[in-house]
Amino acid sequence: MKFSLIIDIAKSLMAARLKQTAIAATGVVFSITMFVALLGFMNGLNKLLDGLILNRTPHIRFYNDIKPSSNQPIELDQRFGSFYNIIRSIKPAASRLNIYDNEAIMRTLRADPRVLGVAPKLSSQVFYNVGTLDITGIIDGIEVEEENRLFAFSDYVTAGNFIDLKNTANSIILGKGVADRIMADIGDVVQVTTSQGNRIQLKVVGFFQSGLGDLDNVQSYAAISTVQKMLGEPASFVTDVQVKLNDFTLAPDMAAEYREIFQIDADDIQTVNAQFETGTQIRTLISYAVGITLLVVSGFGIYNILNMMIYEKMDTIAILKAIGFSGTDVNRIFITIALTIGVIGGALGLVFGFMAGLGIERIPFETEALPTVKTFPVDFNPKYYLIGGLFSLITTYFAGYFPARKASSVDPVEIIRGK
């Protein structure tokens, strides 16, 4: 049977039940619209929440950890060599916090094609001196331009210009919480004391706000040369080497590889932030589950409508089979009806879903905790539209397949005799 004839008959049947056909298509449109909009919004929100931590977290961090000595005196005594020794309250060994020969390490890392960039860091515990009070805090010494390139540092600077940290001697960008606690403003000079007792005055050139209150209450940033001067250390003194990769999924293997080569401690982003990855996966799974449920529900609606159409069009089906249409032809007619509903409804749903995402993206979302975020986040990943389109076709196909199979098995003799 010619496919064009099957399409003409399907069009006639849909036109005869135009209202029911429109209702079925509307169900598909609504389902696809909500599927695309929901996934876009939820994944945009996931990226925002994870970005608060992950954007500022290196894929691999090299450092020297403080740990107890692995060689205890009792283990060196041959008399106790065959014993299982339990030692309590072991004190940390005297070890250096700075990374030895860090320039050679960074050269090696930068030469690795898997590495996007390397940024050194120097962390120092300090006291912010406010009158007779001393407020604890941490100042991270950074290479300003590299920190901004790899970790989007400027996105979190809510006041002032991040490059002033490099251009202004003895300058500091205060965490917003720190600035509020010591009542400092841009242009003010604050005094800090290091844990070694060194005091230095720093000019405030900006405020930093990550959106994490506990971090913003203690964290501040200065140029790495400024912190080295505060500690009275040479220009080679670095406590952390931060690495960003072209593909962050390589981080665990690379961390283990270079840990053995450099003989220093290394943390990868997956291990350090496993809880964030788990939370993202659960939220994404919930979004997919809700969206697919909507599509399945719309599929049941199409199934019911086609079932009713078959019962009402038994005479038409009997006549078609009596004049030479095979069961396969009848099957194709009703599957064509279902797929037409799926294609038209799915296409409109994808368009409306995109428009819904644009609308959500323009809804104001302002909070003091996230000053750089002005509207609700939406992710317009083409993957969601592809999945939505495929599911609309699959759902409507199976919604039409079972009624179509029933229609193809109709015996025209029994129908005509009954009439």
Query: What does the pLDDT read at residue 244?
Result: 92
The burial of 181, by beta-carbon neighbours within 10 Å (0-12 exposed, 13-18 middle, 19 or more buried), is given as middle
406: phi then psi, degrees, rounded to nearest 5: -65, -40
The burial of 330, by beta-carbon neighbours within 10 Å (0-12 exposed, 13-18 middle, 19 or more buried), is given as buried
Taking the C-alpha atoms of residue 191 and residue 79, their distance in angstroms, rounded to an integer, is 56
Residue among 307, 340, 387, 300 nearest 38 (CA): 387
CB contact at 8 A, 303 and 290: no
Taking the C-alpha atoms of residue 154 and residue 352, their distance in angstroms, rounded to an integer, is 35
CB contact at 8 A, 312 and 20: no
Q: What residue segments make up the domains of the chain, in order of their start?
A: 3-54+276-418, 60-73+94-271
The burial of 393, by beta-carbon neighbours within 10 Å (0-12 exposed, 13-18 middle, 19 or more buried), is given as middle
Taking the C-alpha atoms of residue 179 and residue 107, their distance in angstroms, rounded to an integer, is 37
Residue among 134, 86, 151, 96 nearest 265 (CA): 96
Q: Per residue in 237-294, pLDDT tens? A: 898 999 999 888 888 899 999 998 888 888 888 887 766 667 667 777 887 787 777 7
Q: Are strands 115-130 and 133-142 parallel, antiparallel or unpaired?
A: antiparallel
Query: What does the pLDDT read at residue 69?
Result: 64
Taking the C-alpha atoms of residue 141 and residue 172, their distance in angstroms, rounded to an integer, is 10
Query: Going by C-beta distance under 8 Å and a sequence separation of 6 or more, which residues neighbour residue 306?
Result: 334, 337, 338, 399, 400, 403, 404
Q: Which residue has the tokens 């428009």?
A: 355
CB contact at 8 A, 305 and 99: no
pTM score, two decimals?
0.66
Beta bridge partners of 62: 241, 266
Taking the C-alpha atoms of residue 101 and residue 238, their distance in angstroms, rounded to an integer, is 9
- Quote the tokens at residue 70: 């692995």
**Three-class DSSP category at 62:** strand
Taking the C-alpha atoms of residue 317 and residue 312, their distance in angstroms, rounded to an integer, is 10
Q: Which residue has the tokens 């009954």?
A: 418
CB contact at 8 A, 147 and 153: yes
pLDDT tens for the chain, 419 residues long, are: 567 777 787 778 777 777 777 877 887 888 888 888 888 888 888 777 777 667 778 889 998 876 666 666 666 667 766 777 777 666 665 566 788 888 889 999 999 999 999 999 998 889 998 877 888 889 999 999 998 888 888 888 888 888 988 888 889 999 888 888 888 889 889 999 988 888 889 999 999 887 777 788 888 999 999 999 888 888 888 989 999 998 888 888 999 999 988 888 888 888 877 666 676 677 778 877 877 777 777 677 767 776 776 666 666 777 777 777 777 777 788 788 888 888 888 899 899 999 998 998 888 877 666 666 778 888 888 888 888 888 888 877 877 777 777 767 766 666 565 55
Q: Per residue in 304-336, pLDDT tens? A: 776 776 666 666 777 777 777 777 777 788 788
Taking the C-alpha atoms of residue 134 and residue 258, their distance in angstroms, rounded to an integer, is 40
